[in-house]
Structure 1
Amino acid sequence: MEGQPHGRGVRVRGGRGRGQNRGGQVHRQIPDVVNHGLTMAEAGRSGKVRIEPSLNKNEAEFIDGRRKSVLQSLKKLQIDCSQNEVPNIALLGSGGGQRAMVGLLGSLVQLQKTGLLDSILYLSGVSGSTWCMASLYQEPDWSTKLETVKDKIIQRLGGPGVSWKEAFDKLKKYYSRKDYFSLTDFWAVMVITSYVKEIDEHTLTEQWSQHSKDSKVPFPIYTVIDKKCKQRNNGDPWFEITPHEAGYSLTGAFVDASNFGSKFHKGSKKNQQDEFDMLYLQALCGSALADEVEIKKQLWQKIKGEALLHPISERRPEDPNAPASDEECYQMLMNLVDMNLSVLTGEDPSAHNESIRTSLNVLSGGQSRSGTLRIADVEAHELDLKSYTMDVCNSLKGRIGWPFGEAVPSTLQETETRDFEDAGLLLNSPYFSVLRKERNIDLIISLDFSEGDPFMTVKEAAKTCKELHIPFPEVNLPSEGVKKPKDFYVFKGKNTPTVIHIPLFNMVNYKIEAWRKSYKTFQGPYSAKEITDLMEVAGKNITNNKGKLLEQIRAAVRQKGSRR
């Protein structure tokens, strides 16, 4: 998704190494505190970081089996080829919030109906597309019953969603079970649940266990970026998370998926952290609905809105031993929310500050030590607000049955981590996860659900690949392309993968501006009708171009055969 960062990553430390890019021509230095990625099975058991440009053994074994299934699907499509000529095809889903989630689902349904889905080797996504992937891979062999799975997902998306109590119970679980608690935990519980309408507590490795023994689904790759590498414009920012490994795609530094989140030092695991669940993974991948201020505003507004909908009497049974100050505590928390919102919107928070100080004095019998919020300048203002908010929450611990205080621990300020964020902040499509040399991709089908320039992703991918000496075709577009995009583009080059680019809204579905206005990245969850209409639009981009897709698959078969 487009926007600015909000989230924190995983706690890791130390160690350097070297890796090669797809072309083997540019060495990339592993960031100082890299060390969480995936390992081979043997390395995973010993908790080591694997630094080498090769596929994980389990992924390689699955891909071998999947290629055999792809061969059978190509025969059904009347594409004649040998096993060695089977093209490695990767399907990419861009970011774009719920628009990307629904758009990818509609596209996959039509790929299945046209018989093309079984030819896909890899399915990789960023941001909103990963929300779709997480929903699909919940279901064993989802590609064989996609119509049923689609109906189930749509029913859930149109449903009531996660309750306030469920959300805060989950937040308490995150706080009690995780060594490192961050804003991403809040984002998962308070925002992502409002879109995906569920709390999925399965892990990626648990989810994959129901798929790993067959080859009926594409291999999934979830992608994020390393915030520090992006900001400093050095190192390898592209980070992938698969059912077996997590790590830096171009550098070739990985840890076992079950160790993603654990603490490493100089390449060895120092302590085990439970594997992230799928709700947290979706939050990590989809962490940029807007800029940092907008994200904070959304969180505070969400807290206020839900709290107002659920008064204290609903959240806490009457306790005869409880102090008679619940209403004051509750009101103070609402004042604290309003103060945060006023700071973020540039308003004077003094009135809220006075109200909070008065209430604290009453509750503490005149012993409150809470300071006054300084408002000298915005930057100092916001820094002081963090400390102020923590002080007030700490003062309320034990006084109210709302777990806000304990859900904002001091560990939120820890820095001994790698910070990962929505890949859409750098490139809104997961090209670099599939451009690893060892994945040998022949054909990339890019489904672009981005807001704004519908060619930004492919143009930026081409530019970056040229800088890094990674094989990628030239991207030449007609001048009118941005305003009047077609529904199908093909980019080819010598000794490069072929890239098919399909913009979601185009001249074929003709109401481009109307569609864009109806499906903004930053709007709330879609209605049932909006979901149905968007599914149809995305699906037609596939059905209208079935013949062209088959033509490019045949061309990839011929090209692969000519190289042997």
Structure 2
Amino acid sequence: MEGRRGSQNEGVRISQELSEGEKRGTTHRKTTVKKCLNNFGISCNEDEVPHIAILGAGGGLRAMIALQGTLGELQNHGLLDSVMYLCGVSGSTWCMSSLYKHWDWSDKLLSLEERMYEMLLSTWSLPKAMKMLEEAAKDENYSLTDFWAYTVVYGMLHELDKGSLSDQRAASENGKNPYPIYAAVDEKSFNKLSENSADTWFEFTPHEASFLGHRASVDIKYFGSEFEGGEVKRKKEEMNMSYLQGLWGSCIGSKEENIEFIKDMLSFYIIERFGSNSAGFSGNVERFSTPSTGDEERSIIDITRIVHKTNKCLLSWKWGSINNFLYKISGINSAELMEDKIISLIDAGVAINCAYPLILCPERKVKLILSFDYGPGDPFKTLKQAVEYCRQNSIPFPEVDENLLREENNPSDVYIFRGENAPTVMHFPLFNKVNVPGHVTDSRFKFSPVRFVYNKEDFSKLLQAAKLNVSNNKDKILQEIRHVMASSNRSNLYSL
């Protein structure tokens, strides 16, 4: 089924086709990929270039810093220009969203690496956080994602980004950079259907926001506006990047840890706003029900609203509340979703901490996946989950020998899986017996995903570990590109 409801770009698009913006971006990117492969002695025309994807796993600041190092080292060896797609989950999206503010980021990764460290070392402005949070609390769809974005995530990244995802269109269409895809999941579908259902998965690009399983999309500029029957009923301002960073990266630690983070930040906010005598304010907002006048009155009204709404969201554990663009629409196979006026989107790390479902969309024609695992615990968990997802959805995926994945606490630096009529997968555990010999467990603990502060030394060590996984395996990556090209040529020959 294919069609659009509404006028021009405002309506809902139901189609198997990629967005026009993604088509433009990937078409322009083919010129760059072809030139890159030619430089390595691989001859092909633009229609034959293999679609290679990088998957950056989640893992808080660890993932953000590690992906920066991974991309920088790929570029250092001339390999980044061979990549068609860059897809991230959670902390990896923080790195991506920072890079795509620059239309030519792939040409200046070293300077952006230095900028990342300076940003993490800088201080954050509480007044700025307060202003953003106070504005967010006025919205009827306020949720814990708003509070998380403007306090916890801002407190980690030290940067408020008021830009929008559509601002990244130039950087994603000009062919200089891989095309970006950001992952999320629909909480209701995840709880009901699990991570192995395509209906669970949601994606963001600079052009559209989409329900993967329903092949339903809306222009990113109108995502969050009120829709009914596929048409915009009330336009809202496009979501800013800081909010989206909070939405994509809200899975840090357990539910209990998240609750404590939010409570601590709320208390800190109140004390900074009203002084230490207001420490009991969060539990007793009624005593401010009769405010005074002027600025103080506005402040009390604002803080009362934030405390009331945040506490209410904590009780119901409400995250990522957004107007549903499929509300009262026909043509999708989910009567329940059509009836929901509000959807709840959360960090994809709660499902599969690496966005295989999005990159394996058949229209993207990905032949080689470079999966960089930055997550906690079992370094093969995302790989095992991808195998199960593909099995349940009849998606071609290479056979994975479980015997190769038994060294969970002392993995190698790369694992390669090939299959007939399936993409080749190269899986890179962040910490391994090659880049941190004898210190895998210690490194995982030291660079925990819930670590919120990095000094210069540890920032450099983490970058170096990620870079070694590329530099030590650059020849293997090139070998797999050659293998994928040879396989594609054989397939084309057989089809004649």
TM-score (norm: length of structure 2):
0.87
- Indicate whether 1:200 and 2:200 are aligned: no
Once the 2 structures are TM-superposed, how far is the Cα of residue 68 of structure 1 from its aligned partner? Answer: 1.5
The DSSP-based 3-state class of the residue aligned with 2:306 is: coil
Give yes or no for contact 1:429–1:457 (8 Å, CA) kept in 2. yes
- Indicate whether 1:559 and 2:474 are aligned: no
Letter in 1 for 2:171: H
Once the 2 structures are TM-superposed, how far is the Cα of residue 394 of structure 1 from its aligned partner? Answer: 4.8
The DSSP-based 3-state class of the residue aligned with 2:159 is: coil
Matches within 5 A, 1:109-258: 109-160=72-123, 162-176=124-138, 178-208=139-169, 210-212=170-172, 214-233=174-193, 236-258=199-221
Q: Higher relative contact order at CA 8 Å, sep ≥6: structure 1 or structure 2?
A: 1
Which sections of structure 2, spanning at least 5 residues, go unmatched?
314-320, 322-339
The DSSP-based 3-state class of the residue aligned with 1:211 is: helix
Once the 2 structures are TM-superposed, how far is the Cα of residue 262 of structure 1 from its aligned partner? Answer: 1.3
Once the 2 structures are TM-superposed, how far is the Cα of residue 109 of structure 1 from its aligned partner? Answer: 0.6
Aligned mates of 1:168, 1:505 — CA distance in 2: 38
Query: Could you tell me which residue of structure 2 aligns to residue 277 of structure 1?
Result: 240
Give yes or no for contact 1:127–1:423 (8 Å, CA) kept in 2. yes
Query: Could you tell me which residue of structure 2 aligns to residue 466 of structure 1?
Result: 391
Give yes or no for contact 1:226–1:421 (8 Å, CA) kept in 2. yes
Letter in 1 for 2:135: K
Once the 2 structures are TM-superposed, how far is the Cα of residue 259 of structure 1 from its aligned partner? Answer: 1.1
Q: CA, structure 1 residues 482+394, in 2 after alignment: closer, same or farther (shift >3 Å)?
A: farther
- Indicate whether 1:453 and 2:413 are aligned: no
Letter in 1 for 2:472: N
Aligned mates of 2:58, 2:106 — CA distance in 1: 22
TM-score (norm: length of structure 1):
0.76
Letter in 2 for 1:271: R
Once the 2 structures are TM-superposed, how far is the Cα of residue 477 of structure 1 from its aligned partner? Answer: 3.2
Once the 2 structures are TM-superposed, how far is the Cα of residue 408 of structure 1 from its aligned partner? Answer: 4.5
Query: Could you tell me which residue of structure 1 aligns to residue 474 of structure 2?
Result: 546
Q: CA, structure 1 residues 450+66, in 2 after alignment: closer, same or farther (shift >3 Å)?
A: same
Once the 2 structures are TM-superposed, how far is the Cα of residue 211 of structure 1 from its aligned partner? Answer: 2.0
Which sections of structure 1, spanning at least 5 residues, go unmatched?
1-17, 20-38, 313-326, 340-355, 357-388
Aligned mates of 2:346, 2:141 — CA distance in 1: 16
Aligned mates of 1:60, 1:135 — CA distance in 2: 23
Query: Could you tell me which residue of structure 1 aligns to residue 440 of structure 2?
Result: 512
After superposition, the C-alpha distances for 1:461-498 in whole angstroms (9 at most, x for unaligned) are: 11111011011112213263212210011111110111
Letter in 1 for 2:481: I
Give yes or no for contact 1:250–1:436 (8 Å, CA) kept in 2. no
Structure number with bigger Rg? 1
**Superposition RMSD in Å:** 2.3
Q: CA, structure 1 residues 550+44, in 2 after alignment: closer, same or farther (shift >3 Å)?
A: farther
Give yes or no for contact 1:101–1:131 (8 Å, CA) kept in 2. yes
Once the 2 structures are TM-superposed, how far is the Cα of residue 126 of structure 1 from its aligned partner? Answer: 0.6
Q: CA, structure 1 residues 311+286, in 2 after alignment: closer, same or farther (shift >3 Å)?
A: closer
- Indicate whether 1:100 and 2:63 are aligned: yes
Query: Could you tell me which residue of structure 1 aligns to residue 328 of structure 2?
Result: none
Give yes or no for contact 1:396–1:405 (8 Å, CA) kept in 2. no
Letter in 2 for 1:426: A
Give yes or no for contact 2:198–2:213 (8 Å, CA) kept in 1. no
* 1:483 pairs with one of 406, 409, 412: 409
After superposition, the C-alpha distances for 1:79-134 in whole angstroms (9 at most, x for unaligned) are: 22232321000100000000000010010110010000111100000100000001
How many residues align structurally?
456
Give yes or no for contact 1:99–1:449 (8 Å, CA) kept in 2. yes
Matches within 5 A, 1:30-109: 45=8, 47-109=10-72
Aligned mates of 2:152, 2:290 — CA distance in 1: 27
Q: CA, structure 1 residues 170+82, in 2 after alignment: closer, same or farther (shift >3 Å)?
A: same
* 1:417 pairs with one of 337, 342, 345: 342
Q: CA, structure 1 residues 538+60, in 2 after alignment: closer, same or farther (shift >3 Å)?
A: same
- Indicate whether 1:334 and 2:279 are aligned: yes
Aligned mates of 1:263, 1:220 — CA distance in 2: 26
Letter in 1 for 2:151: M
- Indicate whether 1:405 and 2:330 are aligned: no
Aligned mates of 2:30, 2:145 — CA distance in 1: 37
Q: CA, structure 1 residues 44+498, in 2 after alignment: closer, same or farther (shift >3 Å)?
A: farther
Letter in 2 for 1:492: R
Aligned-pair identity in percent equals 35
